Amino acid sequence: MAEGKCCGSGTIGLLLTVLVLALNVAGTFNAKWWEKGSGGNITDVHLFQNVDCDEDNRCNLDNENTEVWIRFVQGTSILCLVLTLSSLILQIFNIFALKFIFAAISGGFHIITAIAFMLQGFVLAGVYRKLSVSYWYHRNSYQDRSDVILRFQTLPMGLNLLSGFIASFAAVTMFVHNKWAMKAQLKRKYSLRN
């Protein structure tokens, strides 16, 4: 019974890790799609409304602060991908070897990934809100922006927050997996001695 629970929770943790990885990749591609579709580098877009622009609706402003946040998002994306891939490998090892160190490190990676996802989600919410609002001003259009805000603010933040929650839950399943596995091993050793 313990072995069944152990293997079941380990499989759940593994599947959740794959889902986290898929969500992270989806969020990254969503950002890249917008950057490509905007016709230029994401840091060149008009990020603020109250800025004097010329007749061609081109605005000169200092994007240094925004660029720092964008670099932060890019860095956390790479960190999350590396940690998630590492956790996936460790979980595969843990299912076959049932070693505590594999489950412990994997769970730790999930916790770090969850925190990074949360921070990235809030940063994306702020940056993408500015980008989505200013996008239409940059194109000299005043149509409804609700779909853009939904796409460039709610979706990225939702993906990251959901990924963070799943990563946290997967960490718990890995620790439970390890607990059941250790009990099963101790019970097996005790029965062999007797």
pLDDT digits (tens, 9 = 90+) for 107-134: 777 777 777 777 776 776 666 555 555 4
In a domain, 54, yes or no: no
- Report the distance separating Cα 154 and Cα 127, nearest Å: 12
The answer to the question of residue 103 being in a domain is yes
With 70 as the cut, is the pLDDT of residue 136 above it? Answer: no
> Would you say residue 55 lies in a domain?
no
CB 42 within 8 A of CB 131: yes
pLDDT at 33 over 60: no
Higher pLDDT, 51 or 169: 169
164 within domain boundaries: yes
- Residue 123's φ and ψ, nearest 5 degrees, are -65, -45
Q: Does pLDDT of 188 surpass 50?
A: yes
Which of the four pLDDT bands, split at 50, 70 and 90, describes residue 163?
low
Domain with 77 in it: 2-49+60-193
- The verdict on residue 96 lying in a domain is yes
Q: Is residue 64 part of a domain?
A: yes
Average pLDDT over residues 25-42: 50
Residue 9 CA, chain-centre distance (Å), reads 22
pLDDT at 152 exceeding the cut of 70: no
92 in any annotated domain: yes
Name the residue type at position 42: I
Domain count, the chain: 1
Q: Does residue 129 lie within any of the structural domains?
A: yes
Instruction: Say how far apart CA 153 and CA 158 lie, in whole Å.
Output: 8
Return mean pLDDT, the chain. Answer: 62
pLDDT at residue 44 in the model: 38
